[in-house]
Structure 1
Amino acid sequence: MDKTLISFDSATVPLSIRPLLEHAAIYDSSCSENARTLFVDGTDKAFLKIAPKGSLEREYRMSLFLCGHGVAPKAIVYESDSDGDYLLTEAVAGEDGTAEMHQEQPERLAAVFGEYLRMLHALPVDGCPYPNRTAEMLEELRVQGTSFVPPPGNRYVPQDRVVIHGDYCLPNIVMDRFAFKGFIDVGQGGIGDRHYDLYWGIWTLGFNLQTDRYRDLFLDAYGRQDVDPEGLAYFTRLNSL
């Protein structure tokens, strides 16, 4: 994750967050057009995400749920004001899946990437704040005026059965030399169909490693017995819209 030292006026954020920024070096580590992400390097290390009003509540609630199961960083403060949303989370030690130390061993990376997704999907679903994630995705497409039609001959019926990440890409998993430390950017998660995450896992390995060579390693590590080819085809079509 790239970090650029910046000058930041703490008076621009809510009062509850300002003390945590005092005497800290602030770095811009944004990687999305939808939110600004700052790395706070002070007595305690944290990430501060700033985004349009109302857009970070889902990430806050999913962070609380996943942190309770020990797989996501602690959400320290969530505030919303007339200017936007602010989410401060602890920074866990390690680097994301795009770090050179991880990508220089692509076979190992693909394998643990599958294993850690399996771990996420094995979590108990009780208490998850978003119990119908797949249905929400389909409704979002309908509201946008997009008509979703499954691939020809595909009879797969999506299931809301497991806790999904919702954006399972290499930048969104933190590891310390392949040892799992936490999932981040979990605002698109909820209870959904495992093949949604599997699709994005395959996509990110191909995109970040610039080859499809590690697709089978990823699926084998996840567990082929629970991978339905029609499920993958269904969500490949869904994500192409």
Structure 2
Amino acid sequence: MTEFINRVPKQLMKLVTGYEVRENSIGHSTCSVFHLRHPSKQGLYLKIQPISNGDLRPEKERLEWLQGKLPVPELLYFDSGDENQYMLASEIQGVPSFDLSFRGDLSNLANQLAMGLRTIHSLDTTCPFSSSLNDKITLVQERISNGSIDVEYLSQHYPNPNLRELFDEMMSLFPDSEDLVVCYGDYSMPNVLLVDGRISGFIDLGQLAVADRYVDIVTVRDTLSYNKLPDECFYLFLKEYGLQELDESKLRFYDLVNRFLG
């Protein structure tokens, strides 16, 4: 606790005095995440991001824009210092959708994931955040050129990868058009919370932006697979989501984009 107190600004410390602090190890974030609990007050989450390797402002801006549109955390405090950024937000009640307690009813799980994504994709595309596909392709090219592609991660999905051949395949699948919606950007099972089998909220929204809906569709497929759910669950999801015909070329294209940038 002493180390925690020494890390946060005094103004922030006033907001969290009296809370029990526990570091959260779930997820793959570059920032430190703390769960703050109080016997008589709503729980909180605090993120501390070293400025040298990340930026919490995109998530801050999205939380502000999403208030009243989706069940998301309420932003309570944000500060950017010389070394760290600090973001304090309310806790959304619920259990991550990967929890084993939901495995007994795959139909309901698929339905909830589909309903949640339909709700997000129905937001007004005048959303101020966008994710340019051309910018992503440029970034992939830069990473191939400077050798910063995570080949170990890529090889988990494409054994013995030849980067140039995979890039050429990806570009051969470049979509003729984009079906633009407000995309979550990381619609994975840890970020979708449920209470009594129903969606209660969404967390970690720093990548939300206008993009092709397949950005999220491919993430759903991957998160279901990663959590060892049967293929049936993905097809149930697609049916409930309302996607009549799966575009396999788009799915492969966005999968390659994600793997290159993962």
TM superposition score category, shorter chain reference? 0.7 to 0.9
Q: What secondary structure, in the 3-state scheme, does the structure 2 residue paired with 1:145 have?
A: helix
Runs of 5+ consecutive residues of structure 1 not aligned to the other structure: 1-5
Give the superposition deviation at 1:95: 0.9
Q: Does 1:80 align with 2:80?
A: yes
| 1:47 paired residue among 45, 48, 72 | 45
| 2:212 paired residue among 188, 193, 199 | 193
1:72-151 pair list within 5 angstroms: 72-126=72-126, 128-145=127-144, 148-151=167-170
How many residues are paired up?
Answer: 235
Give the superposition deviation at 1:137: 2.7
Residue in 2 that maps onto 1:183: 202
Q: Distance in 2 between matches of 1:158 and 1:49?
A: 37
- Maintained 8 Å contact 1:116/1:180: yes
In structure 2, the CA distance between the partners of 1:187 and 1:205, relative to structure 1 (3 Å rule), is same
- Maintained 8 Å contact 2:170/2:257: no
Task: Tell me how large the CA RMSD over aligned residues is.
Answer: 2.3
Give the superposition deviation at 1:229: 2.8
- Maintained 8 Å contact 1:73/1:92: yes
Amino acid at match of 1:179: R
- Maintained 8 Å contact 1:166/1:188: yes
Give the superposition deviation at 1:170: 0.1
Q: What secondary structure, in the 3-state scheme, does the structure 2 residue paired with 1:27 have?
A: strand
Q: Distance in 1 between matches of 2:10 and 2:20?
A: 18
Kindly name which structure, 1 or 2, has the bigger radius of gyration based on alpha carbons. 2
In structure 2, the CA distance between the partners of 1:142 and 1:62, relative to structure 1 (3 Å rule), is farther
Q: Distance in 2 between matches of 1:104 and 1:138?
A: 40
- Maintained 8 Å contact 1:39/1:45: yes
Give the superposition deviation at 1:160: 6.5
- Maintained 8 Å contact 1:78/1:88: yes
Residue in 1 that maps onto 2:69: 69
Give the superposition deviation at 1:150: 4.4
Residue in 2 that maps onto 1:3: none
Amino acid at match of 1:161: L
Q: Does 1:36 align with 2:32?
A: yes
Q: What secondary structure, in the 3-state scheme, does the structure 1 residue paired with 2:124 have?
A: coil
Amino acid at match of 1:211: P
Normalization by structure 1: what TM-score? 0.87
Residue in 1 that maps onto 2:243: 224
Normalization by structure 2: what TM-score? 0.80
**1:61-102: per-residue Cα shift (whole Å, max 9, x none)?**
111122241332111112111121111111011111122222
Which range is displaced more, 45-54 or 226-235?
Answer: 226-235
- Maintained 8 Å contact 2:136/2:257: no
Which range is displaced more, 181-190 or 61-70?
Answer: 61-70
Give the superposition deviation at 1:168: 0.9
Q: What secondary structure, in the 3-state scheme, does the structure 2 residue paired with 1:149 have?
A: helix
**1:86-120: per-residue Cα shift (whole Å, max 9, x none)?**
11111011111122222332332122111211111
Q: What secondary structure, in the 3-state scheme, does the structure 1 residue paired with 2:86 have?
A: strand
Q: What secondary structure, in the 3-state scheme, does the structure 1 residue paired with 2:256 have?
A: helix
Q: What secondary structure, in the 3-state scheme, does the structure 2 residue paired with 1:69 have?
A: coil
In structure 2, the CA distance between the partners of 1:161 and 1:33, relative to structure 1 (3 Å rule), is closer
Identical columns (%):
24
Q: What secondary structure, in the 3-state scheme, does the structure 1 residue paired with 2:175 have?
A: coil
Amino acid at match of 2:70: G
Residue in 2 that maps onto 1:25: 20
Residue in 1 that maps onto 2:187: 168
Runs of 5+ consecutive residues of structure 2 not aligned to the other structure: 146-163
Q: What secondary structure, in the 3-state scheme, does the structure 2 residue paired with 1:144 have?
A: helix
Q: Distance in 2 between matches of 1:181 and 1:226?
A: 29
Q: Distance in 1 between matches of 2:42 and 2:174?
A: 51
- Maintained 8 Å contact 1:132/1:191: yes
In structure 2, the CA distance between the partners of 1:163 and 1:36, relative to structure 1 (3 Å rule), is same
